[in-house]
Amino acid sequence: MRHHNYYVYIMSSLSRTLYTGVTNDLERRVGEHQEGKPGSFTARYQVKQLAYFEEFSDINQAIAREKEIKSMTRSQKIKLIESINPEWQDLSQA
């Protein structure tokens, strides 16, 4: 059986509007955000940069972490992003 990885990620716009999500295919999901499906949150707010992600081997852990991040204050999310990405670089371009 193939071993899947799961990712919790935070996307950001240039004005730092944040979007937190979970996926089993980070590259594909980030690409979908960057294409910006018309009418979607990420298209409306131009949330196209991958600012942060964590990797999990267990989907339940990933979902629990996503909920944890979503319940954080904005300043906690910013601290989390800056703990690994102080320059706010687009990690999908790395």
Mind spelling out the 3-state secondary structure of the chain?
CCCCCEEEEEEECCCCCEEEEEECCHHHHHHHHHHCCCCCHHHHCCCCEEEEEEEECCHHHHHHHHHHHHCCCHHHHHHHHHHHCCCCCCHHHC
Per CATH, the homologous superfamily of domain 6-93 is GIY-YIG endonuclease (3.40.1440.10)
Whether the per-residue pLDDT at 4 is higher than 90: the answer is: no
pLDDT of 2 reads 56
Q: What is the pTM of this model?
A: 0.93
What pLDDT, in 10s, does the model give residues 8-41?
999 999 999 999 999 999 999 999 999 988 888 9
Average pLDDT over residues 57-77: 97
pLDDT of 71 reads 98
